Structure 1
């Protein structure tokens, strides 16, 4: 292996998903596109109904959460009033249908933001794990 290959491999290993999808601009675009799809898509009516009329505040929160979750600045976690992401979703009746709507919106947003190939596969798996975890659990 040459020194150039080692440097190239080190760069790939050190790059975060945040950097690979375009940093602040890419993450903001993903969050904005996600909520635009949710707002426009009749097939996302269950999850849209869980949000207020003004999506601007939640777009900002998703952007801030994704920023840190993807390896960029931990904006959401630096907020004094931040909540555990699981606790924030606990009051909502999230079942399989809501999970599927959320994933449909996120998958379309990733496609629209040109997140493809290995990065798409990696994020899709991670988003699906998160969406599954948000489903309401029956008491007991």
Structure 2
């Protein structure tokens, strides 16, 4: 039986922890630089979810999974949140290969745009709630 992790709008959300994710320690030196870069959309989103402030879910920022660094990761759900900005322009093939790899590990990816985070954060958070309900509701 799956364990209920939290509730969103009265709907039970089940835990979906993905074990034994690959980790490339050679990427670790890049983490502090990415965090210090202070990309505005990531900072805005982080303020919405840090310290379990979003439905008691624990978000990691800049998490290494395999040979990739994901923007945000909720380990108890196996959920990656990616904020797509200008750096993703003309990288469709790279992003597709990356997404296929991460999904092959049993992870789920929620994509949002840099523009929406900066300009429509309330809508982004509502969309994230709906995405979590749709993908993790307790059946």
Give your verdict on TM over 0.5.
no
Higher Cα radius of gyration: 1
TM-score by length of 2: 0.33
Question: More strand by proportion, 1 or 2?
Answer: 2
TM-score by length of 1: 0.33
